[in-house]
Amino acid sequence: MPYKEEYLDESVIRNPEISELVLEVSEKVLEEEIPPRMIIYASDGVNESHVDEDRVYFSTRDFEKLDRTAGLGLVAHEIAHVCLKHGINKEPKMADEKEADSLATRWGFKEEIEKLRKEFPLK
Ligand SMILES: [Zn+2]
């Protein structure tokens, strides 16, 4: 996806650390893979990063625990979830987690996903 500000909520624009990671991931994603109404948020108020329909919520607390490589893996993983329309599933499924990791790996974030899984193993 070519980087588009319309995908970013103010909360991400105000968070240079997260917006920089989103920019890097966005360069690898094709425009047609992205739901047209995707919006990305960053919040101190959510316990963990997640997706809800076409919205991605990044918890700033997650990024305090991760180095840049694993953080990039997390951003790619969550964006992969919306591209795969997992945000409409209300029950978290292990298969969805693996599928999101596979798509992020296909975008070129293999090392980043491996590092992420050392910090945040799939359970
Ligand atoms: Zn996930």
Q: What is the DSSP string of 9-53?
A: -HHHHT-HHHHHHHHHHHTTS-GGGS-TT-EEEEESS-SS-EEET
Above 70 in pLDDT, residue 53? yes
Rounded to the nearest whole angstrom, what is the distance from the C-alpha of residue 71 to the centroid of ligand 1? Answer: 13
CATH of the domain at 64: 3.30.2010
Above 70 in pLDDT, residue 36? yes
Rounded to the nearest whole angstrom, what is the distance from the C-alpha of residue 16 to the centroid of ligand 1? Answer: 23
* Structural domain containing residue 24: 5-119
Above 80 in pLDDT, residue 90? no
Rounded to the nearest whole angstrom, what is the distance from the C-alpha of residue 110 to the centroid of ligand 1? Answer: 15
Residue 32 burial (10 A CB sphere; 0-12, 13-18, 19+)? exposed
Rounded to the nearest whole angstrom, what is the distance from the C-alpha of residue 97 to the centroid of ligand 1? Answer: 5
User: Stretch 2-28: mean pLDDT, rounded?
Assistant: 88
Element of type H or E holding 56: strand 55-59
Rounded to the nearest whole angstrom, what is the distance from the C-alpha of residue 80 to the centroid of ligand 1? Answer: 9
Which residue, 96, 87, 100, 79, is CA-closest to 24? 79
Lowest mean pLDDT among 4-8, 37-41, 63-67, 84-88: 4-8
User: Stretch 90-106: mean pLDDT, rounded?
Assistant: 93
Rounded to the nearest whole angstrom, what is the distance from the C-alpha of residue 105 to the centroid of ligand 1? Answer: 13
Distance of CA 3 to the CA centre of its chain: 14
According to the model, what pLDDT value does residue 41 have?
A: 97
According to the model, what pLDDT value does residue 5 have?
A: 73
Number of domain units in the chain: 1
- Mean pLDDT across the chain: 92
Above 90 in pLDDT, residue 62? yes
Rounded to the nearest whole angstrom, what is the distance from the C-alpha of residue 108 to the centroid of ligand 1? Answer: 17
According to the model, what pLDDT value does residue 98 have?
A: 97
Rounded to the nearest whole angstrom, what is the distance from the C-alpha of residue 38 to the centroid of ligand 1? Answer: 16
